[in-house]
Amino acid sequence: MSAETVLPPDLESGPTDEELVASTVKGDLGAYDELIRRFQGRLYGVIYHLTSNHEDTNDLLMEVFDKAYRSLPTFRGQSSFYTWIYRIAINRSFNFLDKRKRRQGAMSLNELDEDGLPKLDLPDVSPQNDPNKSLMLNELQNKLNESMLKLSKEHRTVVTLFDIQGLAHAEIAKIMGCTEGTVRSRLHYAHKQLQKSLGIYLKK
Amino acid sequence: MSQKEDFSELQKLLRLKRLETPGQEYFNRFVDAFHTYQRREILQEEPWYAKVVEVLFEPWVAGVPRLATVAASAACLVAGVAFFLGPIQSGTAQLADGKVSHPRGIVVAAAQTNASLELQPELIETAAGGEEIQDRPLYVNGHNALAYDSRLTF
């Protein structure tokens, strides 16, 4: 049960996240732009897989980077910037989901805005050339999103971070502020739930 | 791991969600869009109390207030009422004969001795000038037990 591991951004080439944070605090706005470029894809993924809506994800992503920028002077470096900004993204998304739930009740799956879903970006498959395949992929995408939305936000988060983003249990535990045991147990429960609802799409 | 707990196929399926992205063009434009967003936010910055109002009233508008919101609102209401009505005990003073004077003109017997915090039956002076024994004080003020005759009108 292993997921593809994604290297933390500070192991990539160029200045580390912490160096960029220090430069930003000193007033180098270009350094913050670089941090945005490093994290925009991953944070978009986290927020999107929690909300299942592109417009909401876009708004929340702006808020997250804005909130992080304003809070940078208070960032003490007790955790890595990577963990810290992930935590902001997840907290903001949770607040948003709570508000949405209070406004709409539990989000009806029939109300899932299919126009709000990003189109599948499939480099190797060309759905335009095969309408049946395109149809099936869309159906699968909707079914996957429906099943994810049935999970609690905590379970959805561990699935997103582990299965989709490929983070390690320890990293997820740091981000979510819980133990690795809790992460494993949430993951196991979520997998069982998803297996139940997606069973017909899985090979026996 | 039992057959039932093999999630490898499920995990392969979940990895498909990695392909759900808005496209590179979106990310290429994101930094510029963020700068625009930041400028707009600075121009439209709300006063500090707007956040307080939002936190307090958003759940009510949504129709399902959280317990914490209800409790916080009740506490604010009580604090507000207490602030405008003034402190109930302000102006009380210990008299030479051991009684306590109250700003509303009621003299109350202090029943507690210095040696013990045990409460004793209270000797109350009524508005009519008479005295009577009351067994249970209505409330206790720190070290001095104060009892009010509930029949007196304020």
- Total CB pairs under 8 A between chain A and B: 90
Tell me the average pLDDT across B5-25. Answer: 86
In percent, the amount of chain B with pLDDT more than 70 equals 44
Please determine, for residue A112, whether its predicted confidence score (pLDDT) is greater than 80.
no
Tell me the average pLDDT across B5-28. Answer: 88
Is residue B31 located within the same domain as residue B67? no
Q: Among A113-122, A146-155, B68-77, which stretch is predicted with the lowest mean pLDDT? A: A113-122
Please determine, for residue B112, whether its predicted confidence score (pLDDT) is greater than 90.
no
Please determine, for residue A137, whether its predicted confidence score (pLDDT) is greater than 60.
yes
Counting the structural domains of chain B, the total is 3
Contact B11 A69 (CB under 8 A): no
Which amino acid, residue B149?
Answer: D
Q: Among A90-99, A163-172, B64-73, which stretch is predicted with the lowest mean pLDDT? A: B64-73
Report residue A63 CA to chain centroid gap.
Answer: 15
Q: What is the DSSP code (8-state) at residue B114?
A: S
Residue B145 pLDDT: 46
Q: Among A51-65, A123-137, A172-186, which stretch is predicted with the lowest mean pLDDT? A: A123-137
- Which chain A residues are Cβ-neighbours of B58 within 8 angstroms? 99
Contact A69 B38 (CB under 8 A): yes
Is residue B122 located within the same domain as residue B100? yes
Of A25, A127, A143, A102, the residue nearest B67 (C-alpha): A102
Q: Among A177-191, B57-71, B139-153, which stretch is predicted with the lowest mean pLDDT? A: B139-153
With respect to residue B112, please indicate whether it lies within any of the assigned structural domains. yes
> Please, how many CA atoms are within 13 Å of residue A42, restricted to the half-sphere of its CB?
21
Q: What is the DSSP code (8-state) at residue B4?
A: G
Using pLDDT thresholds of 50, 70 and 90, give the confidence band for residue A132: confident
Tell me the average pLDDT across B100-129. Answer: 52
Residue A60 pLDDT: 97
Quote the CA–CA distance of B37 and B35 in Å, as a whole number: 5
CA distance B75 to chain A (A): 23
Domain extent, residue B75, equals: 48-85
Which residue of B lies nearest to A30 if distances are taken between CA atoms? B31
Is residue B104 located within the same domain as residue B142? yes
- Which chain B residues are Cβ-neighbours of A36 within 8 angstroms? 30-31, 34
Does the domain spanning A9-118+129-198 belong to CATH 1.10.1740.10? yes
Say if B132 is an interface residue toward chain A (CB within 8 Å). no
Please determine, for residue B2, whether its predicted confidence score (pLDDT) is greater than 50.
no
* Predicted structure pTM score: 0.63
Which residue of B lies nearest to A198 if distances are taken between CA atoms? B10
Is residue B110 located within the same domain as residue B123? yes
Pick from A36, A41, A58: CB nearest B31: A36
A27 dihedral zone (left: phi>0; alpha: psi -120 to 50; beta): left
Which residue of A lies nearest to B36 if distances are taken between CA atoms? A62
CA distances from B127 to B79, B93, B101, B109 (A): 30, 18, 13, 13
Give alpha helix (H) positions in chain A.
17-25, 29-51, 54-71, 81-104, 131-150, 153-159, 169-176, 180-198
In percent, the amount of chain A with pLDDT more than 70 equals 80
Please determine, for residue A96, whether its predicted confidence score (pLDDT) is greater than 50.
yes
Who has greater pLDDT, A189 or B74? Answer: A189
Please name the residues in contact with B42: beta carbons below 8 A apart, sequence gap of 6 or more: none
Q: Among A53-57, A115-119, A196-200, B34-38, which stretch is predicted with the lowest mean pLDDT? A: A115-119
The A-side interface with B (CB below 8 A) comprises: 1, 3-4, 33, 36-37, 40-41, 44-45, 48-49, 54, 58, 61-62, 65-66, 69, 99, 102-103, 117-122, 140-141, 144, 148, 159, 163-164, 188, 191, 194-195, 198, 201-203
With respect to residue B153, please indicate whether it lies within any of the assigned structural domains. no
Residue B17 pLDDT: 86
Q: 10-39 in B: which are within 8 Å (CB) of A? A: 10-11, 13-23, 27, 30-31, 33-34, 37-38
Please determine, for residue B118, whether its predicted confidence score (pLDDT) is greater than 70.
no
With respect to residue B152, please indicate whether it lies within any of the assigned structural domains. no
Taking the CA atoms of A15, A17, A18 and A19 in sequence, report the sign of the dihedral they define: positive
Which residue of A lies nearest to B62 if distances are taken between CA atoms? A103
Is residue B107 located within the same domain as residue B141? yes
Say if B136 is an interface residue toward chain A (CB within 8 Å). no
CA distance B66 to chain A (A): 9
Asked if B20 and A121 touch (Cβ cutoff 8 Å), the reply is: yes
With respect to residue B151, please indicate whether it lies within any of the assigned structural domains. no
Report chain A's mean pLDDT, rounded to a whole number: 83
- Which chain A residues are Cβ-neighbours of B69 within 8 angstroms? none
Taking the CA atoms of A28, A34, A40 and A43 in sequence, report the sign of the dihedral they define: negative
Residue A66 pLDDT: 95
With respect to residue B2, please indicate whether it lies within any of the assigned structural domains. no
Of A50, A25, A34, the residue nearest A165 (C-alpha): A50
Q: 36-95 in B: which are within 8 Å (CB) of A? A: 37-38, 41, 58-59, 62-64
Please determine, for residue B45, whether its predicted confidence score (pLDDT) is greater than 80.
no
With respect to residue B3, please indicate whether it lies within any of the assigned structural domains. no
Residue B140 pLDDT: 41
